[in-house]
Structure 1
Amino acid sequence: MEKKLQQTIGFWTAITIVIGTIIGSGVFVKPSVVLNHAGSSNMAIWAWVVGGILTLAAGLTIAEVGAQIPKTGGLYAYIRDIYGSFWGFLTGWVQTVIYGPAIIASLTLFFGILISNFFNLNQSTGVWIGIAALTFLVLLNIVGTSLGGAMQNITTIAKLIPVFAIIVFGLLWGKAPIFNQDVSNLIVQKDQINFGRAVLATLFAYDGWIMLTNLTGEMKNAKRNLPLAMLVGLSVVTLAYVFINIAVFHVIPAETLVGLGNTSSAEAAKVLFGDLGSKFVNIGVIISIFGCLNGKIMTFPRVPFAMADDKLLPLSGPISYINPKTKTPVGALVIVYILGLLLVLLTLLIPSVVNADYLSEICIFIIYVFYIMAFIGLFLLRKRTKGTARSYSVPLYPIVPLVAILGGLFIIISTLQSDFLGALYSIIIVLVGIPFYFMLKNKQRNV
């Protein structure tokens, strides 16, 4: 029997979760990276548009699946209900053991680095600041999901202020030409110029679009609010990404932008608002990372919670524990905190062996395999529920789900081409989970 979490997440909080779990540092640091792959301002802007369309198609497709399976655990619950507990377990296994902790560890370390750089502190002090932020946010979400939601609302609004400031004032005050700026002759490594790689770079910035679905069981009127929040949230993110790039091109000439690396938005703000502008953007990035970390802490624990509720994790009893007063999944929040903290420490102790950023990147390959299974699952669900009224239907069916599937295949093929060894590692992580599944199922049968 599924344990119930309190339905405290309203429509507007759901939107801020979508926006907040996607927008981290990518909106501020990726313009130059994408331009280096695109070779021209036109193709760079198109890469952001295409990335947004692929992400929106994926989000709208998953929203129909989520409306038909409005359960806590998101992708884990969808794969489990469509394909069975074996495939559901493998989905949740990757998210719980590696993907979630790696992303949380990366954000924790990055937040600490940004704070230490901003205040000229020792790097070791920054690590402890990051761990303190992680601990604070976990405790906040233990005290109440509504508090975590309030934090998400505040940080999302705060992080959008510098984004919109650069867009508005960049478009008004910028003097550099935006379109038809070819910089291919300035790029030293010509093999980097590839529109597919440019789109792939934007898709890393759009990553996190599915996180809201983990909280479906805690949403008010999920069948209506999940699809609407996906549509509004992903549309806002896409427009923000496209227009901040247009604004940056208008402020900084493309031939200058191509060599700026990860400082493009800060440099644009510096041109617009002086030295105070770059500090303004740096504060925006810090808030953005903090809010993104809060969003991940809100959403990732729902996967081990749902798995433990199905008795598909060791220590399922403690992990599925819900605080009777706050109605928060305390056990799942604690286990995600422990795994994230462990990875932070391992990254510091043996950096040559454990790299949280790389672990999260290689897992994207296998996560997209499960995404594609969920996209295909929509067709299976429609077949199973033929003649039944739906609270939400994906627009332009079957075109939108097919676009989502093609986008997923694009990421998988691109990853195989660019990092075959990393893709192999992620497959090994999945295979390691198989004996655990059969051990846990056997334990269930013997109880």
Structure 2
Amino acid sequence: MNENKSYGLSTATAMIVGICVGSGIFFKVDDILTFTGGNVFLGALVFIIGAFSIIFGSISLSNLAAISNKSGGMVGYFEDFYSQSIACAVGWFQTFLYYPTIAVVVAWAAGIYTCLLFGLPDNLDLQMGIGFIYLLFFYLMNIISSKLGGQFQVISSVVKLIPLIGVGIVAIFFKQPQPEIPANVEPIHLTNVGMGWLAALAPTAFSYDGWAISLSISDEVKNPKKNMPLALTIAPIIVLFVYLSYFLGMNKILGPEYILSMGDGAVMTIGNLLLGKSGEVVILVFILISMLGVVNGVSLGHIRMPYALATKEMIPSSKKVIQNNKGIFNNYSAMIGLFCGIFWFFIHYITQKFGLIKTGDISEIAIVFGYLFYSILYIKVMMLYKQKVIHNFFTGIISPILALIGGLIIILGGFSSNPASMTIFFGICSFFCLSGYLFYKKQKS
């Protein structure tokens, strides 16, 4: 889309950290504790397993980032190392389902915390309306200026680390007793869930996801063969440290039963304990900025995907999309991304309004399905090592094996969390992939 190299190592790293940290971690902690029956040890274990998939997965894919010249991130990798028809299937899944569902759900979550911040009613329509405004704003901002989007990403990434690391540090010195569950709140007690804790891997996958989105801007990163592998290695380690710091700190200060009972609002109690009523506002501001950073990062990557597919003739009217004329509405790649976001926002609203998905949301299903594609790439990395294209044993064999194990566990956990919804939406994901595959086959025949 842009021949200028707009992003350096700091932006690429910040994009990964910024998308991963600051969305799921704030409103999925209680979900993870619910699935683990309030067991803090199992919750920490779930975060570590999730880290396996992101840390070793990103280290594995850094091999491909170092040798691939194709644009489009994962689509380029499949094009380079498998086939163009399979790459098209991946591209359709990412463009028309994966990116927009993540952007939509996090924009909605930002709407929820905006209502909490300003004391607005706990109303789905209001939350979704505010979220829709956020969604439009960040898509349009990144269409107008990629540099402005990149700068916001760096700022929001730094801002969001303050409360997350701060909670962990405060917990070390915190001596006050854990707060009592309010009398008007029904308490949820610790339970033994057996192997049911594996279901916690679905919300954990949401908390960690986003690192692969940064691959979509690899062709706009300065010295990508050096900087992308570095970013893909550094950022996940930062994410794991931040997550464990926040999760363990939250549980020490509040206790698992309090978090289970209070749900998403539990985090405000920490602000209140430290700074009084104003502390709740400070915490909510940090959370809101963090979530908006995620929406920004996802939209920044999403609006580039149709253009990347068009350069490979993988979507209809590719020549028109490539033209990328001046003006917001003549930027066809960005408009495709924007309208995909609007479409899935409506679908998400319907599923929430009528309770069509009992646990989780549409983004978790797309995220879990995405691990199938990651796994295929991990296998290719090992094949390239055997072919002596990749020479490092750790990054070529050990890392992809560990990433593959972590990915398969997340897929298993995703299905165990909601078998019916997962089956239906896996079918929808497969439909998008098959449509892309058949389109490319027909296009080339």
Instruction: Please state which band the TM-score falls in when normalised by the shorter chain.
Output: 0.7 to 0.9
Distance 1:394 1:308 in 2: 36
Change in CA separation of 1:31 and 1:171 when aligned onto 2, cut-off 3 Å: farther
What does 1:401-412 correspond to in 2, within 5 Å? 401-412=400-411
What does 1:40-59 correspond to in 2, within 5 Å? 40-59=39-58
Code of the aligned partner of 2:309? M
Asked whether the 8 Å contact 1:309–1:316 carries over to 2, the reply is yes
- Partner of 1:263 in structure 2? 265
Code of the aligned partner of 2:148? L
Change in CA separation of 1:428 and 1:29 when aligned onto 2, cut-off 3 Å: closer
State whether structure 2 residue 233 is matched by structure 1 residue 235. no
Structure 2 gap segments, 5+ residues each:
179-187
State whether structure 2 residue 28 is matched by structure 1 residue 27. no
Asked whether the 8 Å contact 2:90–2:433 carries over to 1, the reply is no
Asked whether the 8 Å contact 1:346–1:354 carries over to 2, the reply is no
What SS does the aligned partner of 1:320 have? helix
Aligned identity (percent) is 24
CA RMSD of aligned residues (A): 3.1
Q: What do residues 176-231 of structure 1 show as CA deviations (whole Å, max 9, x unaligned)?
A: 69xxxxxxxx7466437644334444232111121111111111111111121122
Change in CA separation of 1:153 and 1:435 when aligned onto 2, cut-off 3 Å: closer
Q: CA deviation at 1:373?
A: 0.5
What does 1:3-402 correspond to in 2, within 5 Å? 5-38=3-36, 39-121=38-120, 123=123, 124=125, 126-175=127-176, 187=189, 190-191=192-193, 194-322=196-324, 330-348=331-349, 351-352=353-354, 358-384=361-387, 386=388, 393=392, 395=394, 397-402=396-401
Asked whether the 8 Å contact 1:211–1:299 carries over to 2, the reply is yes
Code of the aligned partner of 1:273? L
Change in CA separation of 1:435 and 1:232 when aligned onto 2, cut-off 3 Å: closer
Code of the aligned partner of 1:244? Y
Asked whether the 8 Å contact 2:19–2:211 carries over to 1, the reply is yes
Q: CA deviation at 1:119?
A: 2.0
What SS does the aligned partner of 1:9 have? coil
Taking structure 1 as the reference length, the TM-score comes to 0.86
Asked whether the 8 Å contact 1:302–1:332 carries over to 2, the reply is yes
Change in CA separation of 1:70 and 1:288 when aligned onto 2, cut-off 3 Å: farther
Distance 2:120 2:40 in 1: 37
Code of the aligned partner of 2:292? F
Change in CA separation of 1:160 and 1:89 when aligned onto 2, cut-off 3 Å: same
Change in CA separation of 1:166 and 1:310 when aligned onto 2, cut-off 3 Å: same
Distance 2:444 2:345 in 1: 33
Code of the aligned partner of 1:431? F
Change in CA separation of 1:432 and 1:257 when aligned onto 2, cut-off 3 Å: closer
Change in CA separation of 1:162 and 1:276 when aligned onto 2, cut-off 3 Å: same
Q: What do residues 284-314 of structure 1 show as CA deviations (whole Å, max 9, x unaligned)?
A: 2211111100000111233322211111111
Taking structure 2 as the reference length, the TM-score comes to 0.86
Distance 1:176 1:400 in 2: 42
Matched residues, number: 430
Asked whether the 8 Å contact 2:60–2:396 carries over to 1, the reply is no
Structure 1 gap segments, 5+ residues each:
178-185
Q: CA deviation at 1:165?
A: 2.5
Q: What do residues 150-181 of structure 1 show as CA deviations (whole Å, max 9, x unaligned)?
A: 0101111122222233222232224569xxxx
Change in CA separation of 1:270 and 1:98 when aligned onto 2, cut-off 3 Å: same
What SS does the aligned partner of 1:416 have? helix
